Chain A
């Protein structure tokens, strides 16, 4: 894979931890024959191939699509959430951003609600539990409904799409000084709040999802917008404002009560 002629070497300082609750530490490895065309994850693959050859445990790292749309990969590279590129995932980071002899610090998301499972992999199921609390709509069973049965304003559809672009990677929580999941939850509530299909569960959704979010132990929003600055999908903090609006309307003018996780009525 690597072009030996143009290859360079970097030192990777990576977080090693055997399991949740186990003590972890930073460990430095030298990676040679790195091509500037490689992605950052391919460089970690190269490191792992080398570690396996030496009989050492490879660095566990999560990745799936490697094209910036699945939200699996997520690392803090040299102190930058998802690496130095703006609005990008770490799989879209390439080694041409680094030079020969660079020391690269690679750390996992360090968020209370995302316990480290192993090395660089964290458990982000807290985000899934927020989704499970209210991130769904009711549809009739039977034949698939006609695609355009419910008319939708194009501007609203586009805004809902922008919110739905959230890939749930958790970068917003990681970037937040308070470890808050407001941008994630705001996006997930907005994608339904903007569309007629989301309207039957609208009030219950915001109350249930916020209750789940608080239960998972995420912090509060202090409107510093670090989340927006790192979001690989450029999800806007206007979605947090919409969630706040939805909450206030549901709390003061709605009849719905939150539905605790796991129960369906």
Chain B
């Protein structure tokens, strides 16, 4: 059995970037799906909890979660490997060195936004995934968003996502060889729209912080991290 083509995907520079691009696009698609789910919070308790019940009733859910975890880990592993190699090979020692106009804030901060997103993801998991859900998902989420620190972390996470995706989405297409003057402007525009959509996560948390759903104070439950 010839496994050279698999080895080339893992051990060559373009192979690793392909892994990063494909998993990145999958994660981008997941983020859009996740945002769409959470926009149901604006619709109210019944709509949101019904959706969550439907999700939880899927017997394949643990497998889907494991798949998502695998995609995340592959994206992180490819990213770490690429970054270590880049760090080892980076030109250094210049007394004076200017960037020449290709870099953007998004592209120059990919590593930092990646670390921020990972920290945000871990916090998100600890506060929403691995906690007692007995009070109901809508109650749990909206109560948490009445807390300023909590919302600040969510707004920060969303900002990091916008920056990360502003470079990452269009970069993924280039890595997969999709670049042509005909449609690259559309890819760039679409990537920016996907990136800016991440502001939605921040809007949801701010909406409940400002009590725009007019929830009575005695119905607010305090979420604690276990």
Measured CB to CB, the residues of A under 8 A from B are: 13, 26, 76, 78-81, 105, 107, 109-113, 173-180, 182, 207, 210-211, 213-214, 217-230, 237-238, 240-248, 251-252, 257
Minimum CB distance partner of B168 in chain A: A223
B226 within 8 A of A: no
Tell me the complex Cα distance, A239–B82, Å: 21
Q: What chain B residues lie within 8 Å of A219 (beta carbons)?
A: 13, 85-86, 88-90
Q: What chain A residues lie within 8 Å of B164 (beta carbons)?
A: none
Number of residues in B with C-beta < 8 Å to the partner? 46
Q: Are A79 and B92 in contact (CB under 8 A)?
A: no
Q: Are B13 and A224 in contact (CB under 8 A)?
A: no
Q: Are B99 and A241 in contact (CB under 8 A)?
A: no
Tell me the complex Cα distance, A77–B103, Å: 19
The interface stretch among B46-54, B62-70, B142-150, B176-184 is B176-184
**Distance (whole angstroms) from the CB of B109 to the closest CB of chain A:** 11
B23 within 8 A of A: no
Q: Are B174 and A237 in contact (CB under 8 A)?
A: yes
**Distance (whole angstroms) from the CB of A62 to the closest CB of chain B:** 18
B1-25 residues at the A interface, CB under 8 angstroms: 4-5, 8-9, 12-18
Minimum CB distance partner of B101 in chain A: A229
Tell me the complex Cα distance, A243–B176, Å: 10
Tell me the complex Cα distance, A50–B99, Å: 33
- A-B pairs with beta carbons under 8 Å apart, 24 shown: A105-B96, A107-B95, A109-B91, A110-B94, A111-B89, A175-B100, A178-B90, A179-B90, A180-B13, A182-B13, A213-B13, A220-B17, A220-B85, A222-B86, A224-B102, A224-B104, A224-B107, A225-B102, A229-B100, A237-B174, A238-B179, A240-B174, A243-B177, A246-B177
Q: Are A220 and B16 in contact (CB under 8 A)?
A: yes
Tell me the complex Cα distance, A176–B98, Å: 11
